[in-house]
Amino acid sequence: MKLFLDTANVAYVAEIARWGVLDGVTTNPSLVAKEGKDFKKVVLEMCKLVPCVSAQVTAPDVEGMKKQGEEYASWHKNVVVKVPMTTDGLQVVKYLSGKKIKTNVTLVFSVAQAILAAKAGATIISPFIGRLDDIGEDGMVLIEEIMDVWSHGRFETEVLVASTRHPRHIIDAARVGAHICTIPYEVFKKLPQHTLTDNGYKKFQEDWEKVKNRG
């Protein structure tokens, strides 16, 4: 499973990329607004660090989204155009996929939406599991159902588990065979942590200090 960082913060991307496990980045307008930086500059800096950076279109109509999508794609080969899961968005995905421009359909909350996005030619779909959990549903069930449909081999679209809230989401996404999981910085930082690792490492270092100078 590929691991993406869900952020518009370039320093976070650089930090996690140094671990050698980062496959991409997802941004959205809310994350970009939080950082308050020049969007194009941020995307281009991220493209130097990872091979896949999702940049979301924000135009209110089909023609505007098509234009924005083509512009984003012209910035760098690593850009994937993120398009909302609306009927307008589907038209944009069909258009961009016809031009060999990679797309990521965002705000997917049902299997029916996942199927439509894949049929329109999406490279990636992003079902949001945390937001379903937030309203009392089980977001991971949606991923299981999508992966079940995908198991028949009819769709090439990659399933990206989005809106993750804690490490268990990442583990369960991997268990059901999702292709990609995007993870907020704070959650990503928790993934390598384990108290027994910390304690064990400390003890190994202390014991080595006791013997390292012995002939």
Q: What is the DSSP string of 4-42?
A: EEE-S-HHHHHHHHTTT---EEE--HHHHHHHTS-HHHH
Select from 41-49, 123-131, 167-175, 202-210 the region that touches ligand E4P (CB under 6 A). Answer: 123-131
Q: Say if CB 172 and CB 139 are below 8 A apart.
A: no
- For residues 127 and 143, what is the distance between their CA atoms, to the nearest angstrom? 7
Q: Which amino acid is at 31?
A: L
The residue with its CB nearest to ligand E4P is 163
Among 7, 9, 28, 78, binds ligand E4P (CB under 6 A): 28
Tokens matching residue 183: 């993870």
Q: Which is nearer to ligand E4P, 34 or 202 (CB)?
A: 34
Q: How far is the CB of 163 from ligand E4P (least distance, A)?
A: 3
Q: How far is the CB of 158 from ligand E4P (least distance, A)?
A: 13
- For residues 81 and 123, what is the distance between their CA atoms, to the nearest angstrom? 10
- For residues 26 and 109, what is the distance between their CA atoms, to the nearest angstrom? 17
Q: Which is nearer to ligand E4P, 85 or 147 (CB)?
A: 85
Among 76, 119, 131, 179, binds ligand E4P (CB under 6 A): 131
Among 126, 169, 170, 172, binds ligand E4P (CB under 6 A): 126
Q: Which is nearer to ligand E4P, 68 or 182 (CB)?
A: 182
Q: Say if CB 186 and CB 168 are below 8 A apart.
A: no
Our finding on whether 130 is near ligand E4P (CB under 6 A) is yes
Alpha-helical segments (H) within 76-215: 87-98, 111-120, 129-134, 139-150, 167-175, 185-190, 195-211
DSSP secondary structure code for residue 128 in this structure: B
Would you call 8 exposed, middle or buried from its count of C-beta atoms within 10 A (0-12, 13-18, 19+)? buried
Among 128, 150, 157, 159, binds ligand E4P (CB under 6 A): 128
157-186: which residues touch ligand E4P (CB under 6 A)? 162-163, 182
* Size, binding site for ligand E4P by CB under 6 A: 11
Q: Which is nearer to ligand E4P, 103 or 182 (CB)?
A: 182
Please identify every residue annotated as catalytic.
82
78-117: which residues touch ligand E4P (CB under 6 A)? 106
Site of interaction with ligand E4P (CB under 6 A): 6, 26, 28, 106, 126, 128, 130-131, 162-163, 182
